[in-house]
Amino acid sequence: VQVLSNPWLAGDHTKVVIVDERIAFAGGMNIGREYRYEWHDMMVELTGPVVDYLRDNFEKIWVKHQVLGDFRVLFRRVEPVNALSASDYPVRILRTDAQIVQILKAQIAAIRNARQRIYIENAYFTSDAILYELVKARQRGVDVRVILPYENDSGLINRSNAIAANRMLASGIRVYIFPGMSHLKGAI
């Protein structure tokens, strides 16, 4: 990895597996024994044109971190191999990095527009903006349920989760505790 070409010294936390250019798995799961057998986590299996998008993104990062990568990335070309079919369901890829907060914005918009229910499971409940919107949704009569882990990989976040849980409970939000280690981030 070309660390020196990255002025922010930021890493890529993306977790994507692409198999034979046709199937992708995306989500929060790391690769390792403890993540597969001891932690609670989730990935989704994807097929269709979205796999081309994920492959293009992977290959862009791969090329960028090679010698002269910033220059070489301008000339790379990835041919799509997955045609859109009538049975495909549209998928929107959201990104978050140092300057882009698409995931947070999309979640807040979805919560603000919810009319019936919001179900969230997240190991790291640290967003005051999300908490505020969930409380407002509950006040509108939306059924809001949140699953937090009994433990995660950060003691500081465990304390933050407890504070958020108390605020949610005081607002009428149902809070459930997953009885173990969780790394899952999901919202419906």
SS3 41: coil
pTM of the model: 0.81
Contact 78, 117 (CB under 8 A): no
Q: What count of residues does the chain have?
A: 188
Alpha-carbon gap, residue 14 to 27, rounded angstroms: 8
The pLDDT profile of the chain, 188 residues, written as one tens digit per residue, is 445 555 555 566 788 999 999 999 998 888 888 888 888 899 999 999 999 999 988 888 888 777 777 777 777 777 888 888 888 888 888 877 777 789 999 999 999 999 999 999 999 988 999 999 999 999 999 999 999 998 878 778 888 899 999 999 999 999 999 998 888 899 99
**What spatial distance separates the first Cα and last Cα of the chain, rounded to whole Å?**
36
What order do you get walking across the sheet with 143-151 strand by strand?
174-181, 143-151, 117-122, 185-187
Residue with tokens 């009885």: 179
